[in-house]
Amino acid sequence: MIQYRLSQKLPHDSFLQVEVLIKPSQADFEVKLPDWRPGRYQLGNFSKYLRNIKAFDKNEQPLNFKKTNKNTWKIHCEAEKCIIRYEIYTSIIDGGSTFVDEEHWYLNFINCLLYQPDEMYQVHKVQLDIPNEWKIACGLKKEGNDLVAESFYELVDSPVLAGKNLQHLKYQVKETNFHLWFRGNADLKNKNQILDDFVKFTALQMETMGEFESEDYHFLFQIPDEKAYHGVEHLNSTCIVLGPAKEFNTESFYNNFLGISSHELFHYWNIIRIRPEEMYPYNFEKENYFTTGYVAEGVTTYYGNLFLVRSGVKDLKWYIDEINILFKRHFENYGRHNTSVAESSWDLWLDGYEAGIPHRKVSIYVKGALIALILDLKIILESNGEKNLDDVMRKLWVEFYKKDKGYSPQDYLKSAEEVIGHDLTDYSNKFIIGCEPVENELKNLLSQFGFEMEMKANENPFANYFGLKVNEGTIIGIAPDSPAETVFRIGDELISFDNQKFEEVLDSIQIEENTDYSFQFFRNNSLNKLTLKTKDGGFYNRYIIIEKDERNATENMMREKWLNV
Strand partners, 6: 18, 128
Q: What is the pLDDT of residues 144-180, one digit of tens each?
A: 899 999 999 999 999 999 999 999 999 999 999 999 9
Tell me the C-alpha to C-alpha distance, in Å, between residue 453 and each of 107, 149, 150: 45, 51, 51
CB 420 within 8 A of CB 379: yes
* Position 61 confidence tier, pLDDT thresholds 50, 70, 90: very high
Residue 344: predicted pLDDT: 96
Identify the CA nearest to 204 among candidates 322, 312, 316: 312
The 3-state secondary structure of 298-315, one letter per residue: HHHHHHHHHHHHHCCCCC
H-run or E-run covering 2: strand 2-7
Q: Structure pTM?
A: 0.96
Identify the CA nearest to 179 among candidates 141, 137, 149, 142: 137
Percent of the chain clearing pLDDT 90 (strictly above): 96
CB 225 within 8 A of CB 243: yes
Spatial separation of the C-alpha atoms in residues 362 and 360, rounded to whole Å:
7
Neighbours of 437 (CB within 10 A): 12
Q: What is the pLDDT of residues 287-314, one digit of tens each?
A: 999 999 999 999 999 999 999 999 999 9
Mean pLDDT over 28-56 rounds to 96
Q: Where are the domains of the chain?
A: 2-163, 166-247, 269-451+550-565, 461-533
Q: Regarding the domain with residue range 269-451+550-565, which homologous superfamily does it belong to in the CATH classification?
A: Neutral Protease Domain 2 (1.10.390.10)
Residues 6+ apart with CB under 8 A from 24: 75, 77, 79, 80, 82
CB 304 within 8 A of CB 259: yes
Residue 173: predicted pLDDT: 98
Residue 71: predicted pLDDT: 97
CB 281 within 8 A of CB 174: no
Spatial separation of the C-alpha atoms in residues 402 and 405, rounded to whole Å:
8
Spatial separation of the C-alpha atoms in residues 562 and 307, rounded to whole Å:
11
Neighbours of 335 (CB within 10 A): 19
Residue 189: predicted pLDDT: 94
Residue 346: predicted pLDDT: 96
CB 543 within 8 A of CB 439: yes
pLDDT at 551 over 80: yes
* Position 507 confidence tier, pLDDT thresholds 50, 70, 90: confident
461-533 shares the fold of 2-163: no
* 482 alpha-carbon distance from chain centroid: 33
Fold classified for 2-163: Immunoglobulin-like (2.60.40)
Mean of pLDDT over the chain: 96
* Position 504 confidence tier, pLDDT thresholds 50, 70, 90: confident
Residues 6+ apart with CB under 8 A from 131: 164
pLDDT at 210 over 90: yes
pLDDT at 356 over 90: no
Q: What is the pLDDT of residues 1-13, one digit of tens each?
A: 999 999 999 999 9
Spatial separation of the C-alpha atoms in residues 147 and 152, rounded to whole Å:
12
**Helices assigned H by DSSP within 384-522:** 389-396, 409-420, 425-427, 439-447, 461, 502-505
CB 361 within 8 A of CB 344: yes
Question: For the domain 461-533, what is the CATH code?
Answer: 2.30.42.10
CB 33 within 8 A of CB 47: yes
CA dihedral 18, 22, 27, 29 (to 10 degrees): -60
Residue 535: predicted pLDDT: 86
Q: What is the pLDDT of residues 117-149, one digit of tens each?
A: 999 999 999 999 999 999 999 999 999 899 999
* Class in CATH terms, 166-247: alpha beta
* Position 391 confidence tier, pLDDT thresholds 50, 70, 90: very high
Mean pLDDT over 351-371 rounds to 91
- In a 3-state reduction of DSSP, which class is residue 281? coil
CB 9 within 8 A of CB 17: yes
Q: What is the pLDDT of residues 246-288, one digit of tens each?
A: 999 999 999 999 999 999 999 999 999 999 999 999 999 999 9
Mean pLDDT over 334-341 rounds to 97
* 203 alpha-carbon distance from chain centroid: 22
Q: What is the pLDDT of residues 448-496, one digit of tens each?
A: 999 999 999 999 999 999 999 999 999 999 999 999 999 999 999 999 9
- In a 3-state reduction of DSSP, which class is residue 341? helix
